[in-house]
Structure 1
Amino acid sequence: MFSSRLLRRSFIASAKRYNSSIAGLDASKVKVTKSDILKPLVANKDLVFGHTFTDHMISADWNEKEGWMAPEIKPYGSLALAPSAVVFHYASECFEGLKAYKDKKGNVRLFRPDMNMARMNRSTARIALPQFDGKELIKLIGDYIKLDERWIPSERGYSLYLRPTMIGTQEALGVNPPSNAKLFVIGCPVGPYYKTGFAAVKLKATTEFVRAWPRGTGDAKIGGNYAPGLLPQRLAAKEGYQQNLWLFGDEHQLTEVGTMNLFVLWKNESNELELVTPPLDGSILPGVTRDSILSLAKQWGEFKVSERKLTMPQLKEAVKSGRVQEMFGAGTACIVSPIKAIEYLGEELAIPLDPSNPESQAGPYTKRFNDAIMDIQYGDVESPWSVVV
């Protein structure tokens, strides 16, 4: 039997072979149309995540006979799609999320954009959408950012959130790989995920619903993974919990927290200080922030770093015996999200934050990971992860 990793490689290889004889995405052919009327900027204090969009957008169409058409940077506006477009009926859609930052010298930076491009191509391959050259899309994003640079806040903690998206646009009912697709990128200025710094969250460990499963689509960033989580999220909120802790299988295996990757810092069964995150078994999204945290932790060399299976009963026992030191979620929007409590089978488990500071909303390592990544994102610490546009 194929492993989930071999299956993913097979999807990508077949997609590349399919597209090898047709035109690839080419940033040098971009057509730029500037907006005649520029929108007023929104003050940093008034920014709401995902509610304000810049003046322009990137757009490129694809069809199976000719490949990629010349891309465009044009005024931000509505898409014209037929009611029969496959995206509406079969969830033929995937997306990415990354940010552009402005450093103290006024340079614009992207954080590990190559990883976003590679993950998006894995997502498109998984749902039979076309592949594209990630380097060319990064070039297009660079051109777009330069045109809409005024929308990138210069204050630390603020950035321009970028949302590359691909949809199937073929006008036909029928469950088949789309013969037409559209790639577009929009951007919105955003502030800190938490307006007043860290705010530790409470989780509901859900046993009634499942987010993803091995060999499914949990490792692809597709729209179809997110809508099924809305009802569990609403139910958790009614009980006073900010996020779901997604469990899987009869053993109640830990997977993700909300739409983020999960990390546990604890004293393991051998009394070693260990940072644990669930393994990439096909049900876990390979987050850019996740990879960055694992890399930093290995560089620091201060504790064991593991990607391995962990169950909720194991975590419960560790909490009760005082072995859990910190827990947090990790993702692009917030970098890290500290966890202070988990409800599991009717019992609420308290997760430590910072014993040395009762007022703190984050443990010392949670905050350290956040600060280290932000320093790189804003160019305060030079790193190959930070790409100047």
Structure 2
Amino acid sequence: MADASVPSFKAADLVIELSSTPKNKQDEVTFGNNFTDHMLTVDWSASEGWQAPLIKPFGNLSLHPACSSLHYGIQLFEGLKAFRGDDNQLRLFRPMLNMSRMSNTAKRACLPAFDQSEFLECIRRLVEIDQDWVPHSDSGSLYIRPTFLGTEQSLGIKKPAHALLYVILCRVGSYFNSGAESLSLWADPKYTRAWKGGTGNYKMGGNYGCSLFAQYEAEDHGCQQVLWLYGEDHQITEAGTMNIFLHWINEDGEEELATPPLDGIILPGVTRQSILELTRKWGEFKVTERYLTMSQLCSALKQLRVKGVFGSGTACLICPIGHIVYQGENLHVPCQDKKSQLASRIAKELTDIKYGRTASDWTFLV
């Protein structure tokens, strides 16, 4: 339901300009390269407020050279997907969680508020228009990238008086193209992804750009991603751009699925929240949000108490982790048989919901 207390654009005012030159739709694509025919844009200014939302042919943006998003990183984004079910119905997975997270990030970035339900309806219309781009396959989907920029046309660090909210879509397959069944991580405390009081729990572009240097150093060490550590006790925080889960027999002899808590340095992932809710509903083992350190993980690996480690996120869903390079050691993380592996079971249950094979109020019909 729309929130009348928030000054916002309205989906009822949506203007639609259809493309006269549709693109070719490639079946096999690199993640993030094959964009659809249309995009959604909504302009805002402090003097005039929100303008009518516009769906128009996909194209370049025109930005002033002094644009505040370019100079000061006043920018944020979201990521969600549309899935084509076995019944040919298109579904979004828990999109209001993305809308809420985007709204929270916008507030932190001093960008204007918007009505989350109205924005979601505009996104639904965009996906509906470009629905032919959604693959007829449960190995592919349509990636949705809402983006919010400060477009202040002057230099100086200040709250933007102009902003642009827009959405682009692209057809995607697998996020990781290595062909490996599990990922390898490089853990070195000299790099920090986020810190207390910072913006690590918000989805800002700057959180990702500053991680590139460490990512390439991880590759120099023969690893695919970075295992981000924090503090003198080397707390485990995230794996690359994923939330991380540890499935083990804990120090008290209990079977446990654990993930770091949302304490300001962890991104509140939609997949992360869904995994916690799903496994707690099973009631088969302990499910906790608590601090985990490399010392605890190393001890558990030596004592053969680790059942598995995996990352989660919208782009990859679930990704098992097989090796961690830490302080000169190559730590082997056990991966169970695929049929019994917890990560595979979770992935199947979430996939069945997304593609409509399991009825759930977690899906939003397009």
- In structure 2, give the amino acid aligned to 1:230: L
**Does the alignment pair 1:248 with 2:230?**
yes
Following superposition of structure 1 onto structure 2, how do residues 301-320 of structure 1 map, counting pairs within 5 Å? 301-320=283-302
Residue equivalent to 1:136: 118
| CA displacement, residues 118-163 of structure 1 (integer Å, 9 cap, x when unaligned) | 0000111111011111111111111111111110111112110000
Following superposition of structure 1 onto structure 2, how do residues 161-200 of structure 1 map, counting pairs within 5 Å? 161-194=143-176, 199-200=181-182
Residue equivalent to 2:311: 329
Q: CA deviation at 1:195?
A: 5.8
Following superposition of structure 1 onto structure 2, how do residues 1-389 of structure 1 map, counting pairs within 5 Å? 23-43=7-27, 46-194=28-176, 199-354=181-336, 357=337, 360=338, 364-389=341-366
* Kept in 2: contact 1:215–1:281 (CA 8 A): no
- In structure 1, give the amino acid aligned to 2:64: A
Distance 1:219 1:367, change over 3 A: same
User: Percent identity over the alignment?
Assistant: 46
Q: CA deviation at 1:239?
A: 1.4
- In structure 1, give the amino acid aligned to 2:317: I
Distance 1:89 1:194, change over 3 A: closer
Q: Distance in 2 between matches of 1:363 and 1:178?
A: 52
* Kept in 2: contact 1:108–1:388 (CA 8 A): yes
Q: Distance in 2 between matches of 1:377 and 1:212?
A: 31
| CA displacement, residues 161-186 of structure 1 (integer Å, 9 cap, x when unaligned) | 00000000010111111011000000
Q: Distance in 2 between matches of 1:125 and 1:206?
A: 32
Q: CA deviation at 1:194?
A: 4.8
Q: CA deviation at 1:199?
A: 2.1
Q: CA deviation at 1:363?
A: 6.5
- In structure 2, give the amino acid aligned to 1:228: C
- In structure 2, give the amino acid aligned to 1:379: G
Q: CA deviation at 1:192?
A: 2.7
* Kept in 1: contact 2:143–2:172 (CA 8 A): yes
Q: Distance in 2 between matches of 1:194 and 1:241?
A: 13
Q: Distance in 2 between matches of 1:195 and 1:258?
A: 15
Q: CA deviation at 1:317?
A: 0.7
| CA displacement, residues 337-379 of structure 1 (integer Å, 9 cap, x when unaligned) | 100111111111110001xx4xx5x971010111110000000
Aligned residues: 364
Q: Distance in 2 between matches of 1:240 and 1:311?
A: 22
Instruction: In structure 2, list runs of 5 or more residues that go unmatched.
Output: none
Q: Distance in 2 between matches of 1:117 and 1:129?
A: 14
* Kept in 2: contact 1:129–1:181 (CA 8 A): yes
Q: CA deviation at 1:335?
A: 0.6
- Secondary structure at 2:267 match in 1: coil
Distance 1:197 1:209, change over 3 A: closer
Q: Distance in 2 between matches of 1:363 and 1:215?
A: 40
- Secondary structure at 2:281 match in 1: helix
- Secondary structure at 2:35 match in 1: coil
Distance 1:180 1:300, change over 3 A: same
Q: CA deviation at 1:208?
A: 1.0
Q: Distance in 2 between matches of 1:331 and 1:61?
A: 30
* Kept in 1: contact 2:87–2:356 (CA 8 A): no
Q: CA deviation at 1:193?
A: 3.0
Aligned Cα root-mean-square deviation (Å):
1.6
Q: CA deviation at 1:224?
A: 0.8
Q: Distance in 2 between matches of 1:368 and 1:198?
A: 19
* Kept in 2: contact 1:352–1:363 (CA 8 A): no
Q: Distance in 2 between matches of 1:366 and 1:202?
A: 16
Q: CA deviation at 1:286?
A: 0.1
- Secondary structure at 2:24 match in 1: coil
| CA displacement, residues 79-117 of structure 1 (integer Å, 9 cap, x when unaligned) | 000100101100000000000011111111000000000
Q: Distance in 1 between matches of 2:110 and 2:315?
A: 27
TM-score w.r.t. the length of structure 1 is 0.91
TM-score w.r.t. the length of structure 2 is 0.97
